[in-house]
Structure 1
């Protein structure tokens, strides 16, 4: 069945730190990937906020956003996302207002309410963050207000944000955020790449309850997937062992650097087939081009999302770049039937 909706595709970058790879090289790799993504037609390059994790270096998210925006020209740079309860809405508005002036028309603001870390670290970041969690919808309103020109008449201003247009996205991994995105008429991004269980329920809520706003006249949805693509299936399986071991560390609380790939072993295959792993990695697509294409097409047809955002935890940079090249080819092929619309009777 032909596809009559052009699907955007984007990158979710965590600046993953591999074993024996210094942070300077990690950040250089992120820039290289962003430049490649820009050349291949990826819509956005978003950076996640995580803290106190040796394997993730995107903790100072807006700093890294600015660095990558300075090294690229056209691709949208955003947060996937800023964990709002960790921050003051005023500071968020000032940071993104500054980014919006430095890189006009290229900055996205994705906001979530999870801590992006463990509870002890979350408390160290902001001791009153639980109060902010419950105020998440109101703090979104507060940030939006700081960006309005009318805010000039108030006592508290984010002067660098006033009049700057920064698209805002609501991120979530459960149904709670779907209600918020729908009520506020904002685009909705679901973290199905690591929390797939409530994807369809959340999307149903979002589309059913969506209220048009000054920011968006109809729903716009994005969903995350993991992709490890290679020129042949066995090579992709080998490359994917790094992310398998990383996920094991996340699930067991034994966090470590991203490990070098190894041959797929019976033990790792058994681990991958564990029910808990299968649930978490439901939308992790590993294989050659045809395999990943079939899985991606199935995902897009099932979900009906407007955009897919891709995370790829791959140790060797050349393998990671190749995976994103293959995925861009896949999306070009998936979107190709759209061009045939003009030929239809």
Structure 2
């Protein structure tokens, strides 16, 4: 077991989840309001995830939303968790994030992943040669770094708005492949344990053991994702979590729908929550009162030793979500 570090940072992964009866415009407004409030709570960064062709998620134009959030806040770091690089041209990514980095100096992060963030048919519609780009992921990460370097000014192809701009790159992953890429390039590493926990410890061990210091990072830096639904009581948190259960059922059955209002925890939902497939996917879903969430979070930090936790929350009510993040911020300050 790894000892947890002091002063572990805590951040947010935002998907702009669209609830039934809530417009996309209202979803974006709520996201900005959330960012402003968690900025005051001490959260370190606010990342947005790229997904496509899902009625329940509105963060498809990720770079645009990053600008929206950064422009409406003052100091919290804002970035991508992540940009799915095989969907994009490395040059365009460098130009977009170079522009963001100049507009909001010292506040923009570029998290890069290689999953499609959607189904295979939609992935093909986004970029027909996507699978070739998947295999070139390490090279395309290096290409983006080159576009950001001042030395690229003599190249035939330039992202002039990115040259010399400080935008840290993070490698995202849910398997051990990404750990090798992050370690070999000396980049910080973020693992999607909030929905794919199976290879978390294998990936962290690979990253720690094979990390090569670089001019960007002299020692390993790790982020791990968790789900948190916190409320005043365990019973209230359990009720709010029925939204997450229904959402995960939709994902697993291919019947993705708008985020649903919470209901009382029925015997059927409780049985669903105990299903082995749900247990595997939601291993790091911390649902309960502040005390319950603190106990689970402390155990997670002790086991992983990560430098930062990235919190996702699928909560229907905007007010309930803010309260959950408020309680979690108190947990992290107490830890």
Give the alignment of 1:291-302 within 5 angstroms: 291-302=292-303
Kindly state the Cα deviation for residue 3 of structure 1 after the two structures are TM-superposed: 6.2
Give the TM-score, by structure 2 length. Answer: 0.99
Paired residue for 1:221? 222
Task: State the alpha-carbon separation in 2 of the partners of residues 273 and 32 from structure 1.
Answer: 34
- For 2:247, the equivalent position in structure 1 comes to 246
**Shift of residue 5, structure 1, vs aligned partner:** 1.7
Which residue matches 1:234?
A: 235
Alpha-carbon distance in structure 2 between the residues aligned to 1:113 and 1:212:
23
CA gap 1:155/1:209 in 2 versus in 1, 3 angstroms: same
Matched pairs, number: 334
After superposition, the Cα gap between the structure-2 partners of 1:96 and 1:17, relative to the gap in structure 1 and judged at 3 Å, is same
CA distance in 2, matches of 1:236, 1:171: 29
Q: How many angstroms does 1:99 deviate by?
A: 0.1
Spell out the pairing of 1:240-279 with structure 2 (5 A cutoff).
240-279=241-280
CA contact (8 A) 2:4 2:306 kept: no
1:311 partnered with 2:304: no
Q: d(CA) in 2 for partners of 1:285 and 1:152?
A: 48
Q: State the SS of the aligned residue for 2:46.
A: strand
Q: CA deviation at 1:103?
A: 0.2
Distance 1:181 1:4, change over 3 A: closer
| Runs of at least 5 residues in structure 1 that lack an aligned partner in the other structure | 335-345
C-alpha contact 2:5 2:306 (8 A) present in aligned 1 = no
**Residues 127-206 of structure 1: matches in 2 within 5 Å?**
127-206=128-207
Q: How far has the Cα of 1:4 moved from its partner?
A: 5.3
Deviation digits for residues 4-49 of structure 1 (CA, Å, limit 9, x no counterpart): 5210000000000000100111001100110011000000000000
8 Å CA contact retained: 2:4, 2:304:
no
- 1:98 Cα deviation after fit: 0.1
Give the whole-Å Cα distance in 2 for the aligned partners of 1:64 and 1:210: 32
CA distance in 2, matches of 1:288, 1:128: 47
Q: CA RMSD in A?
A: 1.0
8 Å Cα contact 2:110-2:169 kept in structure 1: yes
Q: Which runs of 5+ in 2 are unaligned?
A: none
Is the Cα–Cα contact under 8 Å of residues 9 and 43 in structure 2 kept in the other structure? yes
1:37-63 CA-to-partner distances (Å, cap 9, x unmatched) read 100000000000000000000000000
Partner of 1:341: none
Provide the residue aligned with 1:342 in structure 2: none
Q: CA deviation at 1:323?
A: 0.1
Q: Is residue 15–residue 57 contact of structure 2 (8 Å, CA) maintained in 1?
A: yes
> Is 1:104 paired with 2:105?
yes
SS at match of 1:258: coil
Q: What's the counterpart of residue 87 of structure 1? A: 88
Residue 81 of structure 1 aligns to a residue whose secondary structure is strand
CA distance in 2, matches of 1:216, 1:37: 27
Residue 287 (str. 1) matches residue 291 (str. 2): no
In structure 1, what is the Cα distance between the partners aligned to 2:13 and 2:317?
17
**Runs of at least 4 residues off by over 2 Å:** none
Give a deviation string over 1:175-216, Cα, whole Å, max 9, x none. 000000000000000000000000000000000000000000
Give the superposition deviation at 1:139: 0.1
TM-score, structure 1 length as denominator?
0.96
SS at 2:158 equivalent: coil
Alpha-carbon separation, structure 2, partners of 1:126 and 1:205: 31
